[in-house]
Amino acid sequence: MPKNISFNPDLIRRYDLPGPRYTSFPTADRFVDVFDSTALEQHLARRASDGVLGGIERGLSLYFHIPFCNTVCYYCGCNKIVTKDRSLADRYISYLDREMSMQTAFLSGSRQVSQMHWGGGTPTFLDGREIVRLMRAIREHFQLKRDGEYSIEIDPRKVSNDKVALLADEGFNRMSIGVQDFDPLVQMAVNRVQSIAETRSVVDSARTNGFRSVSMDLIYGLPLQDVSRFANTLDSVLEMQPDRLALYSYAHLPARFMPQRRIDAGQLPAPEEKLALLALAIEKLGEAGYVYIGMDHFARPDDELAVAQRRGSLHRNFQGYSTHAECDLLAFGVSAISSVGGAYSQNEKDLAQYYAAIDRGDLPVMRGWVMSSDDMMRHAIIQSLMCHFELSLEAIEQAFGINFRETFAYEIAALRPLEDAGLVRLDGDWLSVTEAGRMLVRVVAMVFDNYLRRDSAQPRYSKVI
């Protein structure tokens, strides 16, 4: 087991509640439609004055959402378009280019990019020519730093060695590979048939072509999974020695995600079996030397995420854990979410509406949120807990000019039962999440989420484990 966590099944059973993943605060479900294209324009224009920390201008992180997939994976809850029509990609890239032109027309300050991520959908739905075309458009609008982090999500079923080499030539140096499970029965049950050999081929090609980090995604709780089958998957994955691993819990929400209706709920592991799958994975990852970063993420001790966590510079955003806390995030494509100068902005989720907005000359904003000073304070608290498992009360007091124990008297009282249960320690000027509580850090963060107290919203979230 990783040295920085403790697996306590009794605590997990007790506190396995529905809760947000806190890729932002407030969470995206709180965004409002009164935040429109004009509001985003204003925040982009103010970035040069708002986006300065200690006299140093904030850098940029870019996100591009590529929604297309060749086939549907039944477990998936992403915003995607399943299609065999290759012509859709060319048109979509044209609109991404136009959206970049529109955003940068208002953007003040530096256009220097430290980080970029392509997600989906399946970004490798794009062929080589389309990848080159989109990268050319990006470079026309932004300056990509030579030593930046540029990552892409990979479906190894659709990626050749030549395509990996092309991605490297275009500047990508990190990849995230979808695996989920290698067992053939599980793969057929979720409509994602993927061999170990083709996955290993992509990993080997990434390393041959100089990729600095390879991450793999697994899911526990899928239909027909059991401890024996999942152990084989874990062994096969660990043989490939990924730098990072994401271990996601499958949340069966067929009312929200239509493809999940094709999953036979009777084949899903019982709660105790699902917990055993998690315990097995944690044990094997610990034996292999991985460090628990937080939430669902593990990394090798020398990986940049683990190093950033030790240095206190780890950050969390809409793409998960990151080493670039200082960056504003500009996002492009359907459903993509930006974070600029204390404001969040989400694009239209429907492709036709996304296109229509750009054709009207409007930024394709569906909804957003302008953070209040209280939001910013709670955001800082939740970030610290989610990324570092501890919080300096004194640091919050100095940053926001408050008396922590007076301002958060309600929250401190709400923490007492968690402290009695062994999830946290409140000692002097420090709130610390214990090793037994780290897998339940979302439960601790929820204490500081004042929006949760105002309604009965938890059932719309997946459970924390």
Q: How far apart are CA 370 and CA 118, in angstroms?
A: 25
pLDDT score of 51? 47
Topology, domain 1-26+373-465: Arc Repressor Mutant, subunit A (1.10.10)
Q: How far is CA 319 from the centre of its chain?
A: 3
CATH superfamily of 29-331: tm_1862 like domain (3.80.30.20)
Average pLDDT, stretch 111-130?
A: 95
d(CA 183, CA 146): 40
The answer to whether residue 56 scores a pLDDT higher than 60 is no
pLDDT in tens, 70-106: 999 999 988 899 999 989 999 999 999 999 999 999 9
Contact between 253 and 462 under an 8 Å Cβ cutoff? The reply is yes
Contacts of 399 (CB under 8 A, 6+ apart): 377, 380
The more confidently predicted of residues 216 and 5 is: 216
Span 102-124, average pLDDT = 94
Task: Classify residue 229 by its DSSP letter.
Answer: H
Average of per-residue pLDDT across 204-209: 97
Q: Is the pLDDT of residue 457 over 70?
A: no
Distance between CA 263 and CA 74 in Å, rounded? Answer: 7
The predicted pLDDT at position 459 comes to: 54
Tell which wins on pLDDT, 202 or 317: 202
pLDDT for residue 261 is more than 50 = yes
pLDDT in tens, 165-186: 999 999 999 999 999 999 999 9
Give the C-alpha separation, 198 to 327, whole Å.
Answer: 35
User: Which neighbouring-strand residues pair with 316?
Assistant: 321
Which of 183-197, 243-257, 352-366 is least confident?
Answer: 243-257
Whether the CB-CB separation of 371 and 100 falls below 8 Å is answered with no
Q: What is the mean pLDDT of residues 15-31?
A: 90
Q: Which position has the token pair 């036709």? A: 352
Q: What is the pLDDT of residues 189-201, one digit of tens each?
A: 999 999 999 999 9
Q: 372: burial class by Cβ within 10 Å (0-12, 13-18, 19+)?
A: exposed
pLDDT bin (cut points 50, 70, 90) of residue 320 is confident
Q: What pLDDT is recorded for position 256? A: 86
Confidence category of residue 54, pLDDT binned at 50, 70, 90: very low
Average pLDDT of the chain is: 92
> Per-residue pLDDT for 358 more than 60?
yes
Q: What is the pTM of this model?
A: 0.94
| Phi, psi at 441, each rounded to 5° | -60, -30
The SS3 call for residue 370 is strand
pLDDT reported for residue 55: 42
Query: Span 406-419, mean pLDDT?
Result: 97
The mean per-residue pLDDT over the stretch 17-28 comes to 90
Contact (Cβ atoms closer than 8 angstroms) between residue 292 and residue 2:
yes
Provide the residue ranges of all domains of the chain, joining segments of one domain with +.
1-26+373-465, 29-331
Q: Indicate the residue type of 444.
A: V
How high is the pLDDT of residue 37?
96
Whether cis (ω within 30° of 0) applies to the bond prior to 26 is yes
Q: Distance between CA atoms of 382 and 316, rounded to whole angstroms?
A: 10
Residue 257 and residue 72: Cα distance in Å, rounded? 12
DSSP-derived 3-state class of residue 391 = strand
pLDDT of residue 50: 59
Identify the residue whose tokens are 């256009």: 111
Portion of the chain with pLDDT greater than 70, in percent: 96
52 has a pLDDT exceeding 50: no
pLDDT at 49: 67
Assign 465 a pLDDT band (cuts: 50, 70, 90): confident
